[in-house]
Amino acid sequence: MEVKLSIDSNVCLSHLSIQKEGNEYTIGDPNIPKFIRVPEAAVFAVNNADGMRSIDEIRTKLKREHDVDVDVFDFFSKLLAIGFVKSIDGLVLVADAPPSSSHERKVRISKFFFNPWTAKWFMFNFIAVLFLFAVKPGLLPYYKDAFVLPAVGMNAFVVICMTYFLIFLHEMAHYLCSYSKGIQATIRLSRRFIFVVAETKMTGLWSKPKKERYFPYLAGMALDVSLILVCLLVQLTFSENPVLVSISRLVAFLLITGILGQFMFFLRTDVYFVLINATNSANLYQNGLLFLKSMAARKEKRNENRRKWGELPKTEKTASIWFSLIYVFGIGILLFLFVYFTFPAFLYIVSRAYREISNYSPSQYMFWDGMASFSVIAIRLALLLVGSRNRFLDRKKRLQSGFQ
């Protein structure tokens, strides 16, 4: 049923969350979840849209009490198109949906693992790890720790299985920490540049105060640090057991390289979300690309992008320019590494695995080493395809919704 607005319509927006972000505000519905940035005048309008006042009355009230003259009708029409309007003239468009028993159960379980006390415990673990590395530098992982088996293929298979298990734990930390705030989360595969990644979507966190978002964004690395501490304690406690020491050093190596990878924030890692939260720049990645497109795109597109760029606040522009420069530099380094190191290494592994399968019989160890190498390649390519498909569907959905 098509719903039409008029200046005499009584609009209710009481279900929307409102959070201050620097000089602007984030409003939205955490149940969709979808959010937009608006100026303070728009918040005045939302706060007065209780379903009892008409659009014209709200406009008049804003003019009288705040000396703000805005097109409330146009603003509410846009909110209706997005799906933010709860009711119009008593006609309910967005019904109140109480949390499911499953959701409430997840919240209770998550709060046991992620709460103010465990946040302090994670901080203690971080300090303990730094202390142990300082007093015992030999605990620092080395690249040779990634080789626990003499056969390359079998070793790669073990490493990739361990890596994906640790990634699962990392994302589960985000997932549970998000639920501890009462926010629904989902885990899925995606692709960033040439990398397949697991990501936890916690969009509903924008309905929470700024300070409450940091813990969910940092939860994955917090768990990683805690696991590193466990690995270090294993090495100190069972120093005479070479198997346990090798495994713990491998896990520590994978966790530390994973944490370092999070600082490639131009790939929208955990650190990226911490940065956009700290700088109040929710669209840092998109605005950074917009700046680049405003200079490099075709003429007709360049003019449109320059118009959009000109509409951004000065603070957004400054942060986006810096991000775009780091993005270009970072992608350039990754391309260099891929062309001169990653791709040649990939070809070497493929040729080596082919020789092992061709020259040895199934009864020999090296044959299965070659099979393990091909298994690793197949797994990574399959996950890359799934991640690329999910990213394509996300972009298609955004374009159909009218968002870039």
Question: Taking the model in full, what pTM does it have?
Answer: 0.89
The C-alpha atoms of residue 373 and residue 274 are separated, in whole angstroms, by: 37
CB 252 within 8 A of CB 232: yes
**Structural domain boundaries in the chain:** 10-92, 99-270, 283-328+400-404
Cα dihedral 252→273→310→327 (10° resolution) = 10
Tokens of 329: 């530099």
Fold of 10-92: Outer Surface Protein A; domain 3 (3.90.930)
Helix (H, G, I), strand (E, B) or coil at 28: strand
Rounded distance between C-alpha atoms, residue 164 and residue 378, angstroms: 14
**Could you tell me the mean pLDDT of each successive run of 10 residues in the chain, 404 residues long?**
82 93 89 88 92 91 87 92 90 83 93 96 97 95 89 90 96 97 93 88 93 96 97 95 94 94 90 91 86 75 80 81 89 87 84 90 90 91 91 75 44
The confidence score (pLDDT) of residue 401 equals 52
- Cα–Cα distance between 49 and 60 in angstroms, integer? 13
Cis before 33 (ω within 30): yes
From the number of C-beta atoms within 10 Å of its C-beta (0-12, 13-18, 19+), residue 141 rates as: buried
Q: How far apart are CA 168 and CA 175, in angstroms?
A: 10
**Phi-psi label, residue 4: left if phi above 0, alpha if psi -120 to 50, beta otherwise:** beta
The whole-angstrom distance between residue 289's C-alpha and the CA centroid of its chain comes to 17
pLDDT, tens digit (0-9, with 9 covering 90-100), for 145-177 = 998 988 888 999 999 999 999 999 999 999 999
Q: How far apart are CA 158 and CA 316, in angstroms?
A: 44
